[in-house]
Chains A and B, each alone.
Chain A
């Protein structure tokens, strides 16, 4: 079977500067060659996995294990240092790092820009706006500036945009944790429907329950490496076993 997502030997590291993130002109003149104290963080090292059409991959791992970096690489925001990514078809993402909505724009304007960001024409974008307003269920707030939104409302809008774009691959970062229960259920229903149409979902989450109940495959990342991959139940129990044991380990 042809896979929807194929990732091979993916690696990404970041250089973290020591004291000051931004170099001033003075630093440049005083020390033209020194790049400042820096260390390298290997966010992802030699990560490989595949996801089949119509299935859902759940990514788990502690904070800083590389989950978000993986999503950013998958959607093409970051370039890998090594390794390859093949994705069959279009992508839409809801990333927890920020919804990318300008606070001064109304929900409608923000949603339109979001759709244009995915390469749509203005006409295609405008045709989808009613469906987005409908799905997000934020009522008259759709016409209000986004700065007046709660975090949950912003996520509703972001999720509604991503699902209404109807991409081939949907990347979700901790989306379900932000909304209320009713909306989380609505999202899960939409995701299920999405998958029955042969489309693929990658979900980063801290909820073992969601991974066990909804995902077909689980990927456990630990310090940028694959610590477990396969049946969600097995991976989640291994993760729980180790994270329970490592709580004491990490404080030493």
Chain B
């Protein structure tokens, strides 16, 4: 077996070091709540409290003309949390791993993958909590749920691609870790998460149509809120975007990984 890291492709590296990814993801999830009294239970408590607040605010205190608005909001907000959590932690992941990069035989590719996976797990842990809320709010969850794994797979492609690209670029331009925050905020407001697609003025509809995150989030809203299958065209568009961005991300990472240790 060739153990020389610098010559291997991304898939083979991730497969060889799957146990390292597993260990680091576990550590990431544990560290988040280390030292707290409830410990690992926070992974469920956190979305529970968060969702209770939203549900109370938007179904009792502040009523909006969208039926079952709290659920609509959560159906978009929770998958968005996966994107934003992964991008924020992922952008700095290679720079934050400076103690490993170029100094030990540590496979650098693992670093940006870890926040993507740990935020995916946080999302998955939040799903049963969301299901309970949906049922409590008399929403219908049904057959459309079978499309959920497919949508998550598309989101995994998109998120991994963006994180790889940003994490690589951030080694050379540290400004990105600050800019990523603003970009995420702008993207959040450009994506129909707390408003609906039809509320967007006609002049700006193109922004929604071309926004791959709008396609992705609306797939979640279809499944978790409207109980209907997501639009295949939207999903295909998001998947195509994901494939392109992932290919770019892997290419950028592979091309520049040798230079990392000189910039970190």
Contact = CB atoms under 8 A, between A and B. Distances in A.
From DSSP, what is the main secondary structure of chain A's interface residues? loop
Contacts of A101: 99
A30 B22 CA distance: 43
Interface string B226-264: 000000000000000000000000000000001001110
B32 interface: no
Contacts of A99: 104
Contacts of A85: 4
Interface in B69-114: 99-100, 102-107
Interface size band for A? 35 or more
Contact of A113 (B20, B102, B103, B174): B20
Nearest to A76: B4
Contact of A100 (B5, B7, B106): B106
Interface in B131-188: 172-175, 179
B104 A116 contact: no
B263 A75 contact: no
B52 interface: no
Contacts of B31: 104
B16 interface: yes
Given A77-B105, A93-B105, A116 B23 contact: yes
Contacts, number: 93
B197 interface: no
Interface string B1-29: 10111110000000011011011100100
Nearest to A104: B31
B175 A98 contact: no
Contacts of B27: 105, 109
Contacts of B105: 75-77, 91-93, 117-118
A94 to B, nearest CB: 9
A153 B5 CA distance: 28
A97 interface: yes
A24 B17 CA distance: 33
Nearest to A14: B262
B23 A119 contact: no
A237 interface: no
Nearest to A123: B19
22 contacts: A15-B262, A22-B263, A23-B173, A24-B173, A24-B175, A76-B7, A76-B105, A77-B105, A78-B258, A79-B258, A91-B105, A93-B104, A97-B104, A100-B99, A105-B27, A112-B23, A113-B20, A113-B24, A116-B17, A117-B104, A117-B106, A119-B17
Interface of A: 14-15, 21-25, 28, 72, 75-79, 85, 87, 90-93, 95, 97-102, 104-105, 109, 112-114, 116-122, 125
